Amino acid sequence: MSKGRILVTGGTGYIGSHTVVELQNAGYEVVIIDNLSNSYSWIIDSITKITKIKPEFHEIDLCNGKDVNDFFNKNKDIDGIIHFAAFKAVGESVENPNKYYYNNLVSLMHILQNMQKHKLSNLVFSSSCTVYGEPEKVPISEEAPIVKAESPYGNTKQISEEIIFDNTKISEISAVALRYFNPVGAHESNLIGELPLNKPQSLMPVLTQTCIGKQEKLFVHGNDYPTPDGTAIRDYFHVSDLAIAHVKAISYMQEKRNKDKFTFINLGSEKGYSVLEVIEEFEKINNVKLNYEMGPRRAGDVIRVYADSSKALKELGWKAEKSLSEMVRTAWKWEQSLKDNKI
Ligand code: NAD
């Protein structure tokens, strides 16, 4: 018997597809909404190959209120919603803020309106560690202050959390905002992974793209930071670990273990890896040589960020399990398969 019917918005995207796999493996029935603005429909076939279960798929733009209302009118038996759908490119959001405010906020509003109308209660929201900015101390716990967002993208996450909070106060909606640190890597099957349709800005896809020859050289943004090797430190963790956290967040709410109507939880490995450490591990594990060069610091980059994920362990029973070697190995395998498939 199914553990429940879960709507996954953005379910053909990078984190969404991994989460659909873990939900189905855990015995949930999944229905996906995605408008394929940053993903492909063949991801559904890949998920089906991995789990032997074809998830239900609706190609809907969540900004289209009528289509979203129609969907919910026909699907009243949703036990939980994981809302991934959003635009996520920080740089693009600076150049085109309204595209980001419109897509990320209007889609959320449509979900919340329908949750209220149909008295649906369990929402898991994709938030980000960007809400903490440059922290005063690391590791960063949920008590750390929220600082003014550096980009319109980051601001959409902060505003979304506020909108959700206000909704939980006046309705049956309970929500968990998962604040991710830096998810990387790909599924062990090598059938799903990250698909940067635009030029990526984060380390792992730039690294794999440089190694495969899509980008000429990797520039390390700053080697004069006050860190052991001078390069910036981030909390990388495997996307499959992140996917499992979503499954746990859904059962946390289904079993009503959440004491608060709105809970914030940090998700990371609690380890900080420097840019050079990641590069060295990538070269060693994959037996490759990377073309990289030290460059100047990048505006807006923070020095050192890693999570205190003890709340995730306490509340969800979740801990990141996979090592940096598994992250770099699966990321590289995935990039090679993209080349083989001419993507
Ligand atoms: P992604 O771009 O791979 O997936 C997002 C999916 O949402 C895509 O498939 C896209 O087509 C879909 N989508 C976007 N707008 C939509 C709309 N209006 N209607 C329907 N579908 C729409 O991104 P991801 O890396 O999987 O990120 C998922 C979520 O996690 C996002 O909310 C992102 O902001 C958040 N997040 C990601 C990271 C990261 O490092 N990847 C870190 C922190 C937070």
Q: Sign of the C-alpha dihedral, residues 309, 275, 125, 59?
A: negative
Contacts of 19 (CB under 8 A, 6+ apart): 8, 11, 82, 84, 242, 243, 246, 247
Residue identified by tokens 């860190």 is 227
Beta-bridge partners for 234: 273
Is this structure's pTM higher than 0.85? yes
As a whole number of angstroms, the distance between CA 40 and CA 195 comes to 9
To the query of whether residue 153 is one of the catalytic residues in this protein, the response is yes
> Cβ–Cβ contacts within 10 Å for residue 289, how many?
8
User: Which residue's CA lies nearest to atom 4 of ligand 1?
Assistant: 13
Pocket of ligand 1 (CB under 6 A): 10, 12-16, 33-39, 61-63, 84-88, 103, 107, 126, 128, 180, 183
Backbone angles phi, psi at 311, to 5 degrees: -65, -35
Cα 326–Cα 332–Cα 334 angle in degrees, nearest 5: 100
pLDDT in tens, the chain (343 residues): 899 999 999 999 999 999 999 999 999 999 999 999 999 999 999 999 999 999 999 999 999 999 999 999 999 999 999 999 999 988 899 999 999 999 999 999 999 999 999 999 999 999 999 999 888 899 999 999 999 998 999 999 999 999 999 999 999 999 999 999 999 999 999 999 999 777 888 899 999 999 999 999 999 999 999 999 999 999 999 999 999 999 999 999 999 999 999 999 999 999 999 999 999 999 999 999 999 999 999 877 889 999 999 999 999 999 999 999 999 999 999 999 998 887 8
